[in-house]
Structure 1
Amino acid sequence: MTDTELCLICIGRTVILLLAANGAPVLARHWLKDRFSLPVDMGLTLGDGRALFGYRKTWRGIIVSVITTSLVATVLGMPALDGALFGLAAMSGDLLASFIKRRQGYAESSRVRSIDTIPESVMPALVLHAQLDLNVADILAVALTFFLIDVLLSPVLYRLNIKNRPY
């Protein structure tokens, strides 16, 4: 396979892991409300007067993401450690997106689709590209697919009262 041929199975597996990594914290927040929601940045405010990440980025979310992604990876026939690394990389991308949005002056929970989906989908795909058998075209397809799923799924989750906002 070349760098331009797509591996649909590889893309599908990666998107499933992304949905697990990013969906688990949303479901945990829905079910647990504010219980165990210790902010990653511990309320730290930087010199610009804005939070480092914000109160919505919690240790609970990271832990739930890593555990869930580990379990899903094993179901997909991958090592649990690869799943944990995937979840950690996805959450690192999510934290990077929050950091960028805070620096640009966006409020907590504001939606900037490109910033919200690209780091959290591309980072784990890059980190585990060999384990997931992804090439450059696959990674781009993963990012686009995750973006489109986010656009389509967010309003549904809002209507089901799982998300607080329709985006």
Structure 2
Amino acid sequence: MTNIEPCLICIGRTVMLLLAANGAPVLARRWFKARFSWPVDMGLTLGDGYPLFGYSKTWRGIVIAVIAASLIAPVLGLSAQEGALFGLATMSGDLLASFIKRRRGHAESSRVRGVDTIPESVMPALLLRTQLGLGWLDILAIALIFFLVEIFLSPVLYRLHIKNRPY
């Protein structure tokens, strides 16, 4: 295979890890309600009047994302440690997206297309590019697929009362 040909298995494996890492905090919020939901930013508000990340970014979400990714990684041919790193990178991208949205004046849990999905899909793919067998086009495909999955899956999860918002 050349670097130009996409690795569909590699893309699929990465998308599955993204779904596990991003879905676990949503399920944890449903199961645990407000328990263990300590905000990552501890309520810190910056000079612009907006929180650093916001109340919806919690330590529980980060921990559960890392655990979920580390549990599914061995099923997908990666080590648990690689899965944990993947989950941590995914949540770091999610925090970056929230930071950007707050600096641009968007309310917590608001939707900003692209900003919501690109950092959290690209950061882990770049960090574990070699371990996941990804080329540059694969990473672009992953970002696009994850963007589309979020657009189509979120309304379904909202109707099933799994998500609080239809986006």
TM-score range, shorter chain: over 0.9
Shift of 1:78: 1.1
Percent identity, aligned pairs only, is 75
Q: Which runs of 5+ in 1 are unaligned?
A: none
Corresponding pairs, count: 167
The aligned residue for residue 141 of structure 1 is 141
Q: Are residue 108 (structure 1) and residue 108 (structure 2) matched?
A: yes
1:113, distance to aligned residue in structure 2 (A): 1.8
Give the RMSD, CA atoms, in angstroms: 0.6
Q: CA deviation at 1:2?
A: 2.8
Distance 2:55 2:105 in 1: 15
Paired with 1:45 and 1:155, the residues of 2 have a C-alpha distance of 31
SS at match of 1:113: coil
Provide the rounded CA distance (Å) in 2 between the counterparts of 1:36 and 1:74. Answer: 27
After TM superposition, the structure 1 = structure 2 runs for residues 59-98 of structure 1, keeping only pairs within 5 Å, are: 59-98=59-98
Alignment of 1:4-153 (within 5 A): 4-153=4-153
Distance 1:166 1:93 in 2: 21
Whole-angstrom distance in 2 between the partners of 1:103 and 1:138: 30
CA distance, structure 2, for counterparts of residue 27 and residue 15 of structure 1: 18
Which runs of 4 or more aligned residues in structure 1 lie more than 6 Å from their structure 2 counterparts after TM superposition? none
* Structure-2-length-normalised TM-score: 0.99
Q: Secondary structure of the equivalent of 1:44? A: coil
Partner SS for 2:142:
helix
Q: How far did residue 49 of structure 1 move?
A: 1.1
TM superposition score normalised by structure 1: 0.99
Pairwise CA distance, 1:122: 0.2
Q: Secondary structure at the residue paired with 2:116?
A: helix
> 2:34, 2:113 → 1: CA distance?
25
